[in-house]
Structure 1
Amino acid sequence: MIDKPYNPDPHKHPGLHLIALLEASKAVLALLAATGLEMLGPQPLRDAVNALIRRFSLDPDHGTLPSLLNMISPDAVHLAAAAMVAYGVLHLFEAWGLWRAKAWASWLGCVTAGIYLPFDIYAILRHPGWASWSVLVINLIVVGVLARDIRKRHGTIANAA
């Protein structure tokens, strides 16, 4: 049986294209969230946390939500928005590379999706349900497709040597 060489032609990778679209959508959402944070500023966040404290009749002086309320400041909002912009740019970069079937993008995507897996499992343990399971399955599929792409590329390099 003759082994066909791996063809990294971007037009022959529908799996990579789907993952690229997923990554691009995450990037757009992160950039929109960062823009929204910068436009609204800290006051709407403070109002939302205060509403949660009132809604659940929590102690307004002690606990997690009052601590969070004390941390919401213009500087914290700018920092959170900057982190979201960095996240969005990273995923846009990854999406571009995956769409063009770049090997580095498969590595980047495999690592970034793999980082989520322990958190996905923790989410299932804390909040079992179809949403938590769906996120885990999607991330496992992404890691599997990208790992397969990496393995095929590595096999091509090994066979060529």
Structure 2
Amino acid sequence: MKIDWDRRTCARRGHVTYAPQEPELAARLRAETGFGEAWRCLRCGDFALGDPHGAGPAQDAPLVPRGKVLRDLFILRFLAVERAVRGVFIVLAAVAVWKFSNSQDAVRRLFDQNLNVLRPVFRHFNYDLDNSPVVGTIQKTFGYKHSTLLLVAALLLVYALIEIVEGVGLWRAKRWAEYLTVVATAMFLPLEIYELTEKISWLKIVTLTINILAVLYILLGKRLFGLRGGHAAFEAERQSASLLEVETTAGLTPVTR
């Protein structure tokens, strides 16, 4: 099923209309009805009753995302939400590491006490807690220095900040955020692949897949680093998707953006 991104967005946000000063162009965008004048929406192309939202030269009309551009914006915002949510969880992890570093001895004593209580219970089910990989990993963390744990917490906060900045920038469709996302995500791909060689999990596979697809999509779709014509080709594609641009070209009315 094909999604009509233009009408879907207009249904949620409303139409965007504009009255250009050029008479021939205005005549193609305006219609008289029994309920009054109507103007074509610059996003979905349907006529909307009422006065236009703006007026002036065609070159001053708002560049409304539509079609493929609007679909790409939706995908960017999905990635933005994913980055922001991940950033929040990393912040929580950093806070947990910091709190643990300040009460490491108390947590160790509490863990040992509970381990002594649980050991007979797990032994009843033929599970040896003393040789458990999970218990072993937790016990190793008790041996980390306070300064090491603080460094880990600081690195996690930096990582979280990068993720949140990416999310905000992608939501606002900023080109610098697209570059930041590609570079930062690509830097961590080797680490994610290495983690899969150590232990395979569905969460790791899904995360790696999303990150690889995100890098490829943004690189090629947004024409970063000069790919597929670079920024100039991207802007030309974005402008060519504008309804007003299409109408202007059809009427051979010069317009400069």
The question of whether the paired residues in 2 share the 8 Å contact of 1:16 and 1:101 is answered with yes
**Superposition map of 1:91-130 within 5 A:** 91-130=163-202
Q: Where in structure 2 are there 5+ consecutive unaligned residues?
A: 1-62, 116-128, 237-257
Distance 2:64 2:79 in 1: 16
Distance in 1, matches of 2:166 and 2:110, equals: 33
Name the counterpart of 2:81.
Answer: 21
Closer, same or farther in 2 for the Cα pair 1:47/1:104, shift >3 Å?
A: farther
When the two chains are superposed, the root-mean-square deviation of aligned CA atoms in Å is 3.6
Give the structure, 1 or 2, with the largest relative contact order (CA under 8 Å, sep 6 or more): 1
Partner residue of 1:70 out of 108, 119, 143: 143
Number of positions where the alignment pairs a residue of Structure 1 with one of Structure 2: 147
Partner Cα separation in structure 1 for residue 161 and residue 201 of structure 2: 31
Report the equivalent of 1:141. Answer: 213
SS in 2 for 1:38: helix
CA distance in structure 2 between the partners assigned to 1:102 and 1:146 by the alignment: 12
1:8–1:89 distance in 2 versus 1, CA, 3 Å? farther
**Alignment partners' CA distance in 2, 1:138 and 1:8:** 28
Q: Give the corresponding residue for 2:120.
A: none
The answer for the alignment partner of 2:231 in structure 1 is 157
CA contact (8 A) 2:218 2:224 kept: no
Q: CA 1:57/1:47 → structure 2, altered by over 3 Å: closer, same or farther?
A: farther
- Contact 2:179–2:224 (CA under 8 A) maintained in structure 1: no
- Structure 2 CA distance for aligned equivalents of residues 26 and 8 of structure 1: 30
What's the offset of the Cα at 1:137? 1.2
SS of the equivalent of 1:101 reads coil
Deviations 1:63-86 (A, max 9, x none): 99877543232x333222222221
Q: Does 1:34 align with 2:106?
A: no
For residue 78 of structure 2, give the secondary structure of its aligned residue in structure 1.
helix
Which structure has the bigger radius of gyration? Answer: 2
Say yes or no: does 1:56 pair with 2:131. yes
Question: TM-score by structure 1 length?
Answer: 0.69
1:81/1:111 CA distance change after superposition, 3 Å: same
- Give the conservation status (yes or no) of the 8 Å contact 1:49–1:69: no
TM score, norm. by length of structure 2: 0.46
Aligned match for 1:132, one of 173, 198, 204: 204
Letter aligned with residue 92 of structure 1: I
